A and B are shown apart, each in its own frame.
Chain A
């Protein structure tokens, strides 16, 4: 049963075996697994359920409604970075690109070396990866749907001896609408509200939307209940609720999970809640070509190049409707209008780095989370190198000009100019970035003095309080995180059920 809180009494009090807070990549598989085991489960989501079947091309309306703070979440630091987060049933999975990588084995090994993680072996995660892949219908993007944008970059990459590959995606039946990050208008992308949530509901989980959890109550160091408020269409309070359960799972993502812990002064004897924030800083490189490409048609994130993944640099396709591409370009006024007049002749690819920079989440003004993050020199070097490589690829593919997100190097008109960029010392303040994958703010580990949760994702301080989202990652993952989050969530659920 999926029900909006407006259909419930204004003073709602229930008991359950487990409450899952947040319906994204962590919460939805958790609710499914626990309900499948016969537990009485409530899945609580702050956002609403959206029907996007009538969606046309007004992507702003989607952003306004389905993105947290209408897409205006920014990190504070050098540079300031937009950090889009979902705020709807399905969490950020409804507005992500649909890219699905398993956890890289070397990353899990590094996590074990760094944090112990007793019992968490790669082999133990494999059945969970398989469950996720089956449930989401994950398969490689096809040439028919990736569109010219990805094909063009792949051709350039091959000329430079790189190895472009189609990205694994959770969109069987994709028609290449090109609007993955605004909710798939064809319903092909198997985000949580299309996959794990209906499945959880079928198994008996009660899903409540427009309900914001504010308090987590504990008794004798054990989880006891969650309480919060029901929200109306304007996100104003219209009632209160409380659900008592011995098992509480927080899956609100790496910004809101530590925020909830900090606000409730919970599970933070290590002092690590909210710290160690990683975000995969990303830079967009745009190639300007002589002929029409129509990059907006087809899967925006269809191909990737991982030849430099060992250095922490990944290349993945991107493209955006003009509403959003316009402010990602390094120009304004007449210059920007000239670029935008050639919108159909543009191609875009993104660089995402495995960051060593660390930020933090705190409770700020307006009682809302504040996100602090500054890019360090090492990551700046990686981003610069990525921009150089992507630019070389575009020149190899026949681009006339390249637009790069580096203050002082806005437009590069020849491969020779790249030498100037190569020689230049770039400061973090020159970067114009975006980021999509917050993680690490409640990291897992065997040592309660250095981590928030153990390898079974139960908090060291409060029995029965679990965290199942990207905040448990001990370091930056290096690939799109949704499958890792889902697999870890199922791993956590498996151990809750065993208990």
Chain B
């Protein structure tokens, strides 16, 4: 069963690009991992209230996150730097409810990315790979 709409997928991709950019010290980014697929799986295993919270968070990000900078716009259509500033403003917001939105969204997206086998390998985590710890 499909849990995410096209609009929600666009929002997720726009957030993921900021949270796990393509460049950087190891060769994988948001484009290399099926983040949307992970979230679909996550949603299919969570109770209604958690799903509802995910949908609400994505909706807030898409249509109302501009309030953090007081510069109107649709999140998924904003330039990268503006999206980054918004996410930073959410993370450091003095209102815990707004930080909660960041916290919850980032938990799901970061789990999706760092749970990927090739990402784990690339940062040197071989814990229990093939059933044993392989320290390299």
A, B from the same assembly: yes
Interface size band for A: 35 or more
Which residue of the partner chain, among A176, A322, A366, contacts B123 with CB atoms under 8 Å?
A322
* Partner-binding segment picked from B6-14, B60-68, B125-133: B125-133
Given contacts A64-B45, A176-B133, contact A57 B111 (CB under 8 A): no
What's the nearest-Cβ distance from chain A to residue B34, in Å?
13
Assess the B130–A334 pair: CB atoms within 8 A. no
Which residue of the partner chain, among B87, B99, B104, B115, contacts A332 with CB atoms under 8 Å?
B87
Given contacts A64-B41, A343-B123, contact A297 B133 (CB under 8 A): yes
> Using Cβ atoms and an 8 Å threshold, which residues of chain A touch B120?
57, 321-323
Assess the A327–B123 pair: CB atoms within 8 A. no
CB nearest neighbor in A for B17: A333
Q: Using an 8 Å CB-CB cutoff, how does the interface string of B22-59 with A read, 1 for contact, 0 for none?
A: 01111000000000001001100111111000000000
CB nearest neighbor in B for A338: B25
Task: Say whether A110 faces chain B, with CB atoms less than 8 Å apart.
Answer: no
Cα distance, A146 to B85, chains bound together (Å): 41
A-B pair number, CB within 8 angstroms: 136
Cα distance, A34 to B15, chains bound together (Å): 54
Cα distance, A142 to B49, chains bound together (Å): 43
Assess the A327–B107 pair: CB atoms within 8 A. yes
Which residue of the partner chain, among B99, B104, B130, contacts A56 with CB atoms under 8 Å?
B130
A-B contact pairs, 10 of them (CB 8 A): A57-B120, A74-B100, A79-B96, A235-B47, A296-B127, A297-B127, A321-B120, A322-B123, A323-B114, A344-B125
For the complex of A and B, 10 pairs with smallest distance between CB atoms: A341-B25, A337-B24, A344-B124, A323-B115, A322-B114, A326-B114, A57-B128, A326-B110, A366-B49, A343-B123
Contacts A72-B107, A337-B20 aside, 20 further interface pairs with beta carbons under 8 A come to A56-B128, A57-B120, A57-B125, A59-B115, A69-B47, A70-B42, A79-B96, A176-B133, A296-B133, A323-B114, A323-B120, A332-B19, A332-B110, A333-B21, A334-B24, A337-B21, A338-B24, A340-B26, A344-B123, A366-B48
